[in-house]
Each structure stands twice: as structure tokens, then as C-alpha cells.
Amino acid sequence: MPRNFTPKVITANALIAGDAVWFTADNTWSPRISEAELITDEAHADLRLLEAQAHQHEIAGAYLADAKEGANGPEPTHFREAFRTRGPSNYAHGKQVEL
């Protein structure tokens, strides 16, 4: 039996910096998952993923990731995506500098 579709965001890695980025509703890439477009329809998700993958001059490895609506926008539901929101794992780089 097929699983029900769960909400998704589109994520990838910025081509130059390598940081995790998320696709927004206005077809741009943001370093913050809270600015990502939360997609609740499977057909729309497939279409948006194709649109995101067309940005090969900006990103690498775009894919759909499970997410949920949070108080400030989409939030990850899987530990892998939660880890990616914190930036590189070595101290004081990328998004961790802001903390």
C-alpha cells in the first residue's frame, strides 16, 4: 500500500559555499529552512523539484525533504535535516557563527 504524502521542502547544497539551502516560493534559495516553501501536494512537489533542479548554476543535489509547519515557518521532521539547518559540523563556521 502506498504511503500518504507528507509535507516537504526542497533542499540542496549551495554550489560555491557548500552550505545547505532551501527553495523558497519565489524561486530563490535561502540559507534558512523557515523561509522555504512548504509543499503539501505530491504533484506540486514533483513540479517544484524539477524547477529547483533547473538552478544547476547555483546548487547541487536538490531533493525533497520531510517537513512540518512550525511557529516560524517550515521545520525539519528528520534528524538529518535538523542537522543540516545548523551548518557545517566543525566549530564556528557557516550558520554556527551567528549562534
pLDDT single digits (tens) 34-83: 999 999 999 999 999 999 999 999 999 999 999 999 999 999 999 899 98
Query: What is the helix, strand, coil percentage profile of the chain, to 5?
Result: 25, 30, 40
Q: Per the structure block, which three cell numbers stand in for 8?
A: 516537504
Is there a domain that residue 38 lies in? Answer: yes
Range of the domain at 54: 8-89
38: three-class secondary structure by DSSP: coil
User: Are the beta carbons of 21 and 60 closer than 8 angstroms?
Assistant: no
Confidence of residue 3 (pLDDT cuts 50, 70, 90): confident
**Number of structural domains in the chain:** 1
Is there a domain that residue 21 lies in? Answer: yes
Is there a domain that residue 3 lies in? Answer: no
84/35: higher pLDDT: 35
Q: Per the structure block, which three cell numbers stand in for 81?
A: 535535516
d(CA 41, CA 8): 9
d(CA 68, CA 9): 9
